[in-house]
Structure 1
Amino acid sequence: MEAGAKKVIISAPAKEVDFTVVQGVNSKDLKKDHNIISNGSCTTNCLAPVAMVLENTFGIEYGYMTTIHSYTGDQKLLDTLHKDLRRARASGDAMIPTSTGAAKAMSLVLPSLKGKLDGTAIRVPTPNVSLIDLTFVPNKEVSSESINDAMIKAAKGPLKGILATNSAPLVSKDFNHNPHSSIFDLTQTQVIKGKFSRVLSWYDNEWGFSNRMCDTAIQIAGLI
């Protein structure tokens, strides 16, 4: 910005920014005086729309997310050095448990979920497309049908273009180049005794997130 840039968009979670935005979730709160903006992470952009629908419809008492995540550019083809010793291992032939801040970052875009969510990541040897597996306890009794209905309604309404739903027996590579932030898998919703719930949502962690970067850039340009 010292060189003259009016706005900066960071394609990752970041500290000391003016605003962290997730399109479709809190993007209406993006203001003209926000100069340094974080677009969150691909995982945050997948989780947040789903969490928002669940929170607004049923309430979330607490929950835990696991992202099954394709390997990324900071991982290595061969065992080598890395500050995270597990990420130092070859990415193409192992499942690698590691950390993610996506769940805790929910409080930045959905303040009502502060302290209610946490999560972890497992990096897997696929080049693209990841998923979130979210288990949670709602504030009211639910069913798999009521959860799915809420997602379908949101995907056709206020979250159209951000959230999609899928009922076909697809696998990860079938979602390659899908532009949505989150593709909720209706076939994977499970509920035990009306409370303990599990949902799954896919995301193209490269292309889908890149689309949201463009959306944010266009929105900011309209504010200047």
Structure 2
Amino acid sequence: MTLKVGINGFGRIGRNFLRAAIEQNADIQIVGVNDLTDNASLANLIKYDSIGGVLPLDVSHDENSITVGDQVIKAYAERDPKNIPWGEIGADVVVESTGIFTDAEKAKAHIEAGAKKVIISAPAKNEDATFVIGVNEGDYDPDTHHIISNASCT
């Protein structure tokens, strides 16, 4: 089953998540991104990365979306996560990579907007759990862990 993911904060971490999903051919569909930067700049930053190099896929944009290969990704520029229509676009999980919504109370806005889970890409406060791959990811319980941190964005 394809995991549908939204990304809030399309800076270095958000774009790296997108690239990793594409390059690893993961069963992940990016259904939306939210960033205050204009879509033309975001599309350029996806295509041309100073570390990852040139993405070998066509990248284009319009007023409402960014297209990477054959994947059309809805694009939003909302300051308040409650206003991002994660539920409408079917986001199962939101990767919270702005560095702003690192407290579970703030990150919960993504769930209120329709996402089922939130992964905070930085150290968090009051999260349901923190997981480090290779250390404790086996402790993940989908019934009780809805807002989690991956401990670090580095």
Superposed pair shares fold, TM > 0.5: no
* Larger Rg belongs to: 1
Q: TM-score range by the shorter chain?
A: 0.3 to 0.5
> What TM-score results when the alignment is normalised by the length of structure 1?
0.26
TM-score, normalised by the number of residues in structure 2:
0.34
